[in-house]
């Protein structure tokens, strides 16, 4: 049976289309093989983070009265005893009432607001960082590994670019909210009043005429 010119043209076009499709698929396959090592390496890299240095490092520059002694303000606050509090009978009673089993000091539900950097990979924790120090500076101001130096801290924009967080009401309400087992809807959370209790401002720079 002889094929007509029309059938022959149709067959030829079919082969041409199949050839083009095969070429495109083969090209994509080859490209994937070439790029695979780079894609795999990128996926293996940890997300960009800053290292948590710990309150002991922060205190080096923030414990003199001339600079406002922010370290002492923290020591005198409940934040510094947040982890310690979880070990008290009162905390254990609250945990039981909330339906939590086991030691509150080992419970993620409790630790998420009673320590700093919960769940952060240990490779992003400095030698002087200890979770047992409770709610530390970096809970509110961000991991300080890349902005802790005096040179960077003197330039707020540069410090922020390197991880410094300027906390606000939203920052505090991350833990002080209705999800807390001790939350009292009648009392709520008065940010302005509570912030006064932990305020630790830097002393204002004296005007030239005031300096001796």
What is the tens place of the pLDDT at every residue in 46-105?
Answer: 444 899 999 999 999 999 999 899 999 999 999 999 999 999 999 999 999 999 989 999
Q: How far apart are CA 74 and CA 126, in angstroms?
A: 20
Looking at residue 46, its pLDDT comes to 44
CATH class of the domain whose range is 55-198? mainly alpha
> Domain locations in the chain?
1-40, 55-198
- Specify the higher pLDDT residue, 39 or 81: 81
What is the tens place of the pLDDT at every residue in 175-194?
Answer: 999 999 999 999 999 999 99
Q: How far apart are CA 35 and CA 17, in angstroms?
A: 27
What is the tens place of the pLDDT at every residue in 129-173?
Answer: 999 999 999 999 999 999 999 999 999 999 999 999 999 999 999
């Amino acid at each position: 049976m002889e094929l007509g010119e029309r059938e022959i043209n149709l067959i030829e076009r079919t082969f041409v289309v199949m050839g083009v499709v095969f070429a495109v698929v083969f090209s994509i396959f080859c490209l994937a093989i070439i790029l695979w090592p780079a894609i795999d390496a990128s996926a293996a890299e940890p997300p960009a983070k800053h290292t948590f240095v710990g309150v002991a490092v922060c205190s080096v520059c923030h414990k003199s009265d001339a600079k406002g002694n922010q370290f002492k303000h923290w020591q005198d606050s409940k934040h510094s005893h947040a982890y310690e509090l979880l070990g008290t009978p009162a905390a254990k009673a609250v945990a039981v009432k909330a339906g939590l089993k086991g030691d509150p000091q080992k419970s993620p539900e409790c630790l998420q607001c009673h320590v700093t950097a919960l769940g952060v990979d240990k490779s992003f924790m400095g030698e002087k960082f200890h979770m047992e120090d409770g709610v530390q500076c970096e809970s509110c101001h961000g991991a300080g590994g890349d902005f802790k130096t005096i040179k960077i801290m003197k330039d707020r924009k540069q410090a922020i670019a390197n991880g410094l967080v300027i906390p606000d009401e939203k920052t505090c309400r991350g833990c002080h909210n209705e999800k807390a087992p001790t939350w009292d809807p009648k009392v709520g959370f008065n940010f302005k009043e509570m912030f006064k209790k932990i305020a630790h401002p830097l002393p204002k720079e004296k005007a030239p005429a005031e300096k001796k």
